[in-house]
Amino acid sequence: MSIETPATPESSRPGKMRIVFALLPLVIFAGLAVIFWSQLDSGRDISEIPSALIGTKAPSLDMPPLEGAIFKGAPMPALTDAAIKGKLTLVNVWASWCLPCREENPIILELAKDPRLTVVGINYKDQTENALRFLGELGNPFAAVGVDPRGKAAIDWGVYGIPESYLVDASGTIVYKRVGPFDERSLKDGLYPAIEKALAGKS
């Protein structure tokens, strides 16, 4: 006499599928949480986003000046290739409506005092009067400013979000990029070593 195994009721299968679908978002969330935590726990500065432009020639600069801006008693020059040619240059992308740009401005002002460095700015999607007010209130660190009202230059430079800064060596090569405002750590661990390396001709 043979014993037949009872068939699994068809009605139980949809129930199992519902459980699988219900658990799927939880599994995905847990996986993403592990990935994000491993990045945070690694000690890496997540604002140091790698750029495909590092090690390549900087995009051409040909932007009109910020009309009405003054630098060292003279009208602010336009931001062109000639303004940075042959100089170790920090290109800072900023706007008056950007709160982190305001927080970063004192640091950019200090960097502009470094005789080894030329600091220039790309004024991103801003109003002229607001940009002038920003520089008038907080101080103007820029030897030249180019206005980028539609963000075309920012696209060429691969801007993620402002403020953003690029260190360009004397040969016109991008050697360092910073996404977000500078702070003590990013200066010490990022920008300053990049400046020293560029000056030593190791970029």
Dist CA 91 CA 75 (whole Å):
19
What's the confidence (pLDDT) of residue 201?
A: 82
- Residue in this structure with the two tokens 């000639």, named with its chain if needed: 82
Which residues contact residue 125 at a Cβ distance below 8 angstroms, ignoring those fewer than 6 apart? 95, 148, 149, 150, 151, 154
Cite the DSSP H helix spans in the chain.
12-41, 81-84, 99-112, 128-138, 152-156, 184-186, 192-199
What distance lies between CA 92 and its chain's CA centroid? Answer: 9
Burial (Cβ within 10 Å: 0-12, 13-18, ≥19) of residue 143: buried
Each residue's pLDDT tens digit, 75-123: 889 999 999 999 999 999 999 999 999 999 999 999 999 999 999 999 9
Whole-angstrom Cα Rg for the chain: 26
Q: Spell out the per-residue pLDDT of the chain, length 203, in tens.
A: 555 555 555 555 666 667 756 666 666 665 554 444 444 444 444 445 555 789 999 999 999 999 988 777 788 899 999 999 999 999 999 999 999 999 999 999 999 999 999 999 999 999 999 999 999 999 999 999 999 999 999 999 999 889 999 999 999 999 999 999 999 999 999 999 999 999 998 65
Q: Looking only at Cα atoms, what is the longest distance across the chain?
A: 108
Residue 194 three-state SS: helix
